[in-house]
């Protein structure tokens, strides 16, 4: 997980809402996460805070740990916060974000249920719960949550992105494409917009259109290994093997152990006649995922249109 992906689930501005005088808040706002941890820890050690102040301080320290990707420490702080202040929807939302970031969708749903029960007005809670439902395979519930997020915030990019993917996975290509077009209109400079439509086009078998959107994604996010790898996958399917091998080379510089990247590059190399190097890549991929040959297409297609792992 990366800093920008965490921001997509949990913005600093949101964490700080109502907490700007809390110890560590200004350091968190400045993205000085070590400073925020140090200041909030010092305040907690003094023991002279009232419960709500102490709960808010745990939220600040938990957020700093979260942005540093120290998820278990963050979770301890957020859980302590709700013990001290059970009315803190923010703390429950943060707990849900951690569960999403650590691929525990059922736990995320439970935490976000609590956040929404306390504060039903925040569109991001519905968007995040929709993501959790989608990852848990509950697509209709996911779409219902994304609908509610969009009703409350018509420009909620993650909600549109999640709805596009949910419709697309369920075979509702036209609905998915319509949402993807809307997403591009409301966020034309956001790579997630083109990433989402790329996934729709791929599932519809429109490879050239998918390639165009994937290249736009990579242009808006230079160095994103997922966008580069998925561009390589589309080039492979278009039988543009030399370009595919080059793209896989680039993606593997970021994620050298990726089974998808290794298997894809190996396939491209073999198609180009470089059987020795291609076979070595495929064996390396199988060493990391013994079933990669059987689900290579499914894994790659599943990645298209999902949340971007930004770097």
CATH topology of domain 195-311: 1.25.40
Q: Measured between alpha carbons, how far is 110 from 248 in angstroms, rounded to an integer? A: 39
Predicted pLDDT at 14: 52
State the pLDDT at residue 70.
94
CATH number for 123-188: choose from 1.25.40.10, 2.120.10.70, 3.40.605.10, 1.10.10.10. 1.25.40.10
Max Cα-Cα span within the chain: 72
Dist. CA 71–CA 90, nearest whole Å: 16
Whole-model pTM: value is 0.81
At 222 the pLDDT is 84
Return d(Cα 310, Cα 8) in angstroms, integer.
10
- In order of 155, 193, 198, the CA distances from 187 in angstroms are 8, 7, 15
CATH T-level fold of 1-119 = 1.25.40
Surface-to-core class of residue 107, CB atoms within 10 Å of its CB (0-12 exposed, 13-18 middle, 19+ buried): middle
Please compute, for residue 13, the number of CA atoms within 13 A of its CA located in the half-sphere on the CB side: 2
CB 264 within 8 A of CB 282: no
Residues of the chain short of pLDDT 50, as ranges, are 1-9, 13, 308-311
- Mind listing the pLDDT tens digit for each residue in 130-187? 999 999 999 999 999 999 999 999 999 999 999 999 999 899 999 999 999 999 999 9
Give the position of tokens 């039903």.
120
**Contact predicate 109/129, CB 8 Å:** yes
Q: If you compute the radius of gyration of the chain from its CA atoms, what whole number of angstroms results? A: 21
> Which pair of tokens denotes residue 202?
């791929």
Residue 288 CA, chain-centre distance (Å), reads 23
Q: What's the length of the chain?
A: 311
125-217-228 Cα angle (round to 5): 110
Q: How far is CA 76 from CA 91, 167, 224, 244, in A?
A: 11, 36, 31, 44
Q: What is the pLDDT of residues 80-101, one digit of tens each?
A: 999 999 998 989 999 999 999 8
- Residue 6 has a pLDDT of 45
pLDDT reported for residue 270? 97
Query: Using an 8 Å Cβ cutoff, are 251 and 261 in contact?
Result: yes
* Range(s) of the chain covered by CATH 1.25.40.10: 1-119, 123-188, 195-311
- pLDDT reported for residue 301: 60
């Amino acid at each position: 997980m990366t800093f920008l992906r965490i921001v997509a689930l949990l913005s600093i501005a949101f964490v700080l809402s109502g907490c700007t005088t809390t110890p560590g808040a200004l350091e968190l706002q400045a993205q000085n996460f070590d400073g925020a941890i140090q200041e909030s820890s010092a305040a907690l050690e003094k023991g002279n805070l009232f419960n709500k102040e102490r709960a808010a301080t745990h939220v600040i320290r938990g957020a700093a740990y979260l942005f540093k990707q120290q998820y278990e420490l963050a979770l301890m702080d957020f859980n302590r916060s709700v013990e001290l202040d059970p009315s803190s929807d923010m703390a429950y939302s943060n707990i849900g974000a951690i569960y999403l970031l650590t691929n525990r969708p059922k736990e995320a749903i439970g935490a976000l249920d609590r956040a929404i029960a306390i504060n039903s007005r925040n569109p991001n809670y519905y968007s995040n719960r929709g993501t959790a439902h989608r990852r848990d395979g509950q697509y209709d519930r996911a779409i219902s949550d994304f609908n509610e997020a969009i009703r409350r915030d018509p420009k909620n990019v993650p909600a549109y992105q999640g709805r596009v993917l949910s419709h697309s996975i369920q075979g509702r290509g036209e609905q998915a494409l319509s949402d993807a077009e809307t997403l591009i209109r409301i966020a034309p400079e956001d790579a997630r917009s083109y990433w989402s439509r790329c996934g729709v086009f791929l599932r519809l078998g429109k490879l050239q259109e998918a390639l165009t959107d994937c290249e736009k994604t990579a242009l808006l996010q230079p160095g994103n290994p997922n966008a580069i790898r998925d561009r390589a996958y589309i080039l492979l399917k278009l039988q543009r093997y030399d370009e595919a091998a080059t793209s896989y080379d680039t993606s593997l510089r970021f994620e050298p152990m990726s089974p998808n990247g290794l298997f894809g590059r190996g396939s491209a190399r073999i198609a180009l006649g470089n059987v020795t190097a291609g076979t070595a890549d495929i064996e390396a991929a199988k060493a990391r995922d013994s079933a990669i040959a059987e689900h290579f297409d499914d894994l790659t297609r599943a990645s298209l249109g999902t949340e971007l792992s930004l770097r």
